Amino acid sequence: METNTQSEQAVWQPKVIAFVCNWCTYAGADLAGTSRLKYDANIRVLRLPCTGRIDPLFIIKAFERGADGVLVSGCHPGDCHYNTGNYHARRRWTLFRELLEFVGIDLQRVQFAWISAAEGAKWAEVVNAMVAHVREIGPFEGYQIMLARSGQAAFQQMVGAKGGNGSGKGVPGALPVGRSGAE
């Protein structure tokens, strides 16, 4: 575990989570794939029915589980499969960004995009730019500060038991254990 951790630390790779809608961005990402476009593998794509389905808590959860950045993407305004889902989502994100900023999360770690099913190239471009950016600003250490204050045990218990990566292979799980080097 300790060796794993240290080697992981040596070659830190940004972990970026993408929440995308089924109808536009996911199809766009698919197009990027079938077009053989190469883009950074640091992105983990999570598909949801609509951007309107993305609860702000998903983003908090992603950071809680060790993400360094979050990308949210869906249909262009006016193109929503459910007509208005992205418009409602946009209002929520406007407020959520204000809140994130207020509690001290760097807004550069949470980015938003509209990517249609025809924009495979834009998907590759946005992902590359996002990953490069997160690589530049470094790992998200907010939770390390938090855990240093209140101990890791309870947190590990919760994330480890239910979440983690489920592989059970002793890979540092959901939380980037020991990145702080404290434990």
Partner 1 sequence: MAEVVEELRALARDLLTKGAVQVFVGYGEGSVPGRTAPTIITTAGRAGELVWNKHCLNNLAVYLTRNEVTKRGRVGLVVKGCDARAVTGLLQEGQATREKVVIIGMACDGMGEPLLEMCKHCDAHMPAGPGADAHHLACDYIIGKATAPDVAPEDGGACYADVAKIEALPPAERWAFWQEQFGRCVKCYACRQVCPLCYCKRCLAEKNEPQWLMSSAHAAGNFAWHVARAMHLAGRCVGCGACERACPQHIPLSLLSKKMAKAVLQHFKYRAGCDPAATPAVKTFDPSDKNDFFR
Binding string, residues 27-46; x marks residues near partner 1 by CB under 8 A: --------------------
Query: Site for partner 1 (CB under 8 A): how many residues?
Result: 43
Amino acid identity of 130? M
Exposure class string for 155-173: b at 16+ Cβ within 10 A, else e: bbeebeeeebeeeeeeebb
Measured between alpha carbons, how far is 60 from 58 in angstroms, rounded to an integer?
Answer: 6
124-153: which residues touch partner 1 (CB under 8 A)? 126, 129, 142-143, 145-147, 149-150
Residue 12 binding partner 1, by CB under 8 A: no
Stretch that binds partner 1, among 13-21, 33-41, 108-116, 165-173 (CB under 8 A): 108-116
Instruction: For residue 16, give the nearest of 164, 140, 143, 175 by alpha carbon.
Output: 140
Q: What distance in Å separates the CA atoms of residue 33 and residue 41, rounded to the nearest whole number?
A: 12
Task: Give me the residues that bind partner 1 (CB under 8 A), please.
Answer: 56-57, 60-61, 64, 77-78, 84, 87-88, 90-99, 101-106, 111-114, 126, 129, 142-143, 145-147, 149-150, 154-155, 158, 162
